[in-house]
Structure 1
Amino acid sequence: MAGEEGVPVDLYIYDLTNGLASVLSPAILGRQIEGVWHTSVVVFEREYFYGGAGVTSCAPGSTQLGAPHQVMRLGTTFVPFPVFNEYIQGLATTTYTAGAYRLLEHNCNHFSDEVSQFACGARVPEHIVAQPQRDLPAPLRTALGSALAALVPDGDQVYANGVRHSRRDSPDYLTLNNQIEEARVVSQELEARRNTLAEKLARKERRKEKKRKKQREQNGGDLLEEEDENMAEAVEAVEALEAGIARAGPSSRDLEAEADERRLEEQRRRERDPPIVFRDIDGAQEFEAFTKALEGVELSADEKQSLDELQQYLVQGEGSWVLGDEFLTFIGRVLRDGGVSSEARVCALRCLAAAALRDDVSLLLHQDRRQHALLAFAHTVDKLPPTEQLALAVFMCNLFENTSSSEWLLYISEWESDGHTLSNIRVTTKVCVHCVLSEAPALRDAGTALLYNVATKERLGLGAALRVQLPKRARSKVFDEVCVELCMAALQLAAWAPPEEALWRALAALARLAAHSHDVPQLVALVGPDPAAFRGTSPRIDEQIDLIMKKVSGVSG
């Protein structure tokens, strides 16, 4: 787990030729190369790599390649393991599937480079990433592709959420996974048998009902005895089927674990602070407006396909799996192309805001890890027209509807955009502060909603196990410097004496931030305004003031 000191992130570098490249390359290439490189990332005591079979996880050094040629320490990650695991699963089921493997432009080294950036902001050395195109002739590329396609860890494999895991290294996981899978198959078979039996019984009952009706009409007699016999047969058959299901179903341990997980999730739902989202968005209407706004814009075949995929997702209700790898490239073009109207950008953002309310939107967000098209655009919020700013803020607010998408907004891993070193949480904070301090009422409304959502992302007392994995001075995903920025924006807004709703959101955010950061209570005391000045505005505002003043008095005392 990523504790206070973090977890080391290593790059394992393998020479696929086992030293032959260094010896033979002068004769083959006319110059010497040290090796033909394959890389993987080792973190959380697991080795992650990508090849023709997709994303694979195994014990470090347990592949057919044996020990690595070199181990390079890339840095330290403070990303919690659940977040990292979700990230890997997202890559495995979107951009790094088995079918997406390309030796030159989308290979193991590109995967390692992307994962290392996410984990600790480091990069794979450029000479490794560029080697296939620079150093390898076509015949050797073909052989290398075959070698990587066949690369697997020693031992059998098991798949989970698109990631292939070494069976040998996780016997308990394998056993449990097999039990669950076997129980699922048996349950499906028995359910099919149950349905078949029920259908047969229904047909039999209909035939007998016709027979009874005919006999009643003939002699007025009844067939109670026959009915009882038939009912007994049906009950006996159903009971036998249910007994078979009970015998073949999951073990009591599996059922208890599943029940515990459901109880925990339900507890989190009950006790969390509900996010503020904008639900008055109709995906079908937004898509229609988007297509109309794109009239006159020349679209490529891929972009037309992406537009059709969006229609399937928002209008027809298909899952996010229909959104292909080029979809966010299309959205990125709409957002940054000066030849596309501002109205089209607004419509695109509102389509995304509608998508954000769906629980499978995180699969779409995973596609943006390479280009950062969405948040690179969001970073320019202060240069956008007010209508685009508002649509952007609504989209980001709606991402808090689901845990995984809100986590994405708060990722801390750094990335580069137009000469700026950014991270998801920094961009989210910039949009939040800009909108909170806007003079436009609608924009300020969206900004205070985003401020509230960010500050109340985790309710104190919940997610403690996750928070202890964070760096020492960060008790939540909202790190100290972000807390200070949000605190100053909330204080400035409060000084303007806004309406009750906006004031409550600002003070509720301050109360949570004061609990997250030692700096916030000090700022409240030094900068002002004094929260106590707003007492009597409403009972819920008084409640937040009490929470803030408790922290402030603790610091001053």
Structure 2
Amino acid sequence: MSEGSSQQIQQDNRDRSKSTEDNESPREPSLVCRDIDIKTELECLVKLLDGKIYKDEEVSMEELHQYLIEDDGSWSLGDNFLVFVQRVLREQSFSPDTRIHLIRTLAYAALKDDVIIILHQDRRDHSLMNFAQDIDKHTPEEQQAWAMFMCNLFENVGPSEWLLYISEWDYNGQTLSNIRVTTKVTVHCILSNCPQLKNIGSMILYNIAIKEVKTVVFDDVAVELTMAVLQFYQSSPNEEQIFRTLKALVRFLEVSADVAAIIQMIGPHPKQFTGKSDRINELLNVICRKVPL
């Protein structure tokens, strides 16, 4: 893709995002992970890749440096960038540490509004979402890095909408879509035994809940996420996590007629958290009006 055409796509995407935001009420700020030292991540990645990648992949690393350190636009990433990313993610010749540092650089990139250009380049191979679908097969540290990446994609309108696309493809005999994979990652995280994954999972759940999603698929997603939240409540979450998940339940009650019945049938009823804080009590009042004990 030429630099000129990439810049035009980037500008068109910004125009669409701005138009969308101008016609909507102000967005609630998403919860993201900003504690990433990108210079250190790139330095570690370069050392781990030294002598293990091809010349064109070295070019991809140089382009990544331009994008993240020199703050060039995503147009600086060539057509082979995602091919390089997919090889590092999938080939076992690369160490888990290599993948962790690569994913953390992607998590940093996810905070940029023009990362949507990279995501759209993956429409054919779905390499990013296929890796996410296999999240339970990766090391705990890889899972944490990937959860950060997906969480940070909610920072801007375009990437957050990409996470919830409903178009389907086949992968290892399964029919997937972005929204299904995002749901799987969210459920996996909040039900994990890892405190870090639980916390990021609650952030992703909150980010999903504050999105204005206009799709019939979201009804099923709301039910699945509600069931996961109710199970999550048995793990003694902290006040912040309770707030995030209650915020999500309020949203799910709005979009799905089945959520109230799921809460009543499965439990525990969220009212058990009464008194944790004023903001939690406010959300519980809304929930209890729709799901009485």
Q: Which has the larger radius of gyration?
A: 1
Which one of 192, 205, 210 corresponds to residue 451 of structure 1? 205
Q: How many angstroms apart in 2 are the aligned matches of 1:263 and 1:389?
A: 32
Shift of 1:550: 2.1
Is structure 2 residue 184 aligned with structure 1 residue 430?
Answer: yes
Equivalent in 408, 416, 419 of residue 162 of structure 2: 408
CA distance in 2, matches of 1:264, 1:386: 36
Select 1:421's aligned residue among 162, 172, 175: 175
The one-letter code matched in structure 1 to 2:58 is K
1:17-96 equivalences under 5 Å are 93=5
For 1:291, give the aligned amino acid: V
**Is residue 2:287 matched to residue 1:541?**
no
Aligned match of 1:331: 85
Contact 1:379 1:430 in 2 (8 A): yes
CA apart distance, 1:418: 2.2
State whether residues 287 and 315 of structure 1, in contact with CA within 8 Å, keep that contact through their aligned partners in structure 2.
no
Q: In structure 2, what is the equivalent of residue 530 of structure 1? A: 269
| Cα distance in 2, alignment partners of residues 507 and 93 from structure 1 | 44
- What does 1:345-384 correspond to in 2, within 5 Å? 345-384=99-138
User: What is the root-mean-square deviation of aligned Cα atoms in Å?
Assistant: 2.4
**3-state SS of 2:72 partner:** coil
Match of 1:422, SS state, is strand
1:153-201 deviation line (CA, Å, top 9, x unaligned): xxxxxxx949xxxxxxxxxxxxxxxxxxxxxxxxxxxxxxxxxxxxxxx
Residue 494 of structure 1: aligned partner: 233
Tell me which amino acid in the other structure corresponds to 1:423: S
Partner of 2:248 in structure 1?
509
Equivalent-residue separation in structure 2 for 1:263 and 1:329 (angstroms):
31
**With CA pairs under 8 Å and 6+ residues apart, which has the higher RCO, 1 or 2?**
2
CA distance 1:438–1:304, shift in 2 (3 Å): same
- 2:280 match: secondary structure: helix
**Aligned-partner SS, 1:360:** helix
SS of the residue aligned with 2:113?
Answer: coil
Q: Counterpart of 1:482?
A: 221
Give yes or no for contact 1:497–1:503 (8 Å, CA) kept in 2: no
1:419, distance to aligned residue in structure 2 (A)? 2.2
Larger helix proportion of the pair: 2
1:283 aligned onto 2:38: yes
Name the residue aligned to 1:387: 141
Write out per-residue CA displacement over residues 217-262 of structure 1, whole angstroms, 9 at most, x where no aligned residue. Answer: xxxxxxxxxxxxxxxxxxxxxxxxxxxxxxxxxxxxxxxxx9xx78
Secondary structure at the counterpart of residue 33 of structure 2:
coil
1:268 aligns with 2:25: yes
Instruction: Call closer, same or farther: CA 1:263–1:391 in 2, change over 3 Å.
Output: closer
Task: Give the alignment partner of residue 293 of structure 1, picking from 48, 62, 65.
Answer: 48
Helix, strand or coil at the partner of 2:291: helix
Change (3 A) 1:509 1:316: same
The alpha-carbon deviation at position 267 of structure 1 amounts to: 6.1
Q: Report 1:64-213 matches (<5 A).
A: 93=5, 161=12
Shift of 1:496: 2.5
**Corresponding residue for residue 259 of structure 2:** 520
Query: Normalised by the size of structure 1, how large is the TM-score?
Result: 0.49
Change (3 A) 1:318 1:377: same
Q: Which residue in the other structure is 1:26 paired with?
A: none
How far, CA to CA, are the matches of 1:294 and 1:523 in structure 2? 49
Q: Tell me the SS of whatever aligns to 1:479.
A: helix
SS of structure 2 residue aligned to 1:382: helix
Would you say how many aligned residue pairs link Structure 1 and Structure 2? 285
Q: Could you list the runs of 4 or more consecutive aligned residues of structure 1 that deviate by over 6 angstroms after TM superposition?
A: none
Greater shift after overlay, 385-394 or 410-419?
410-419
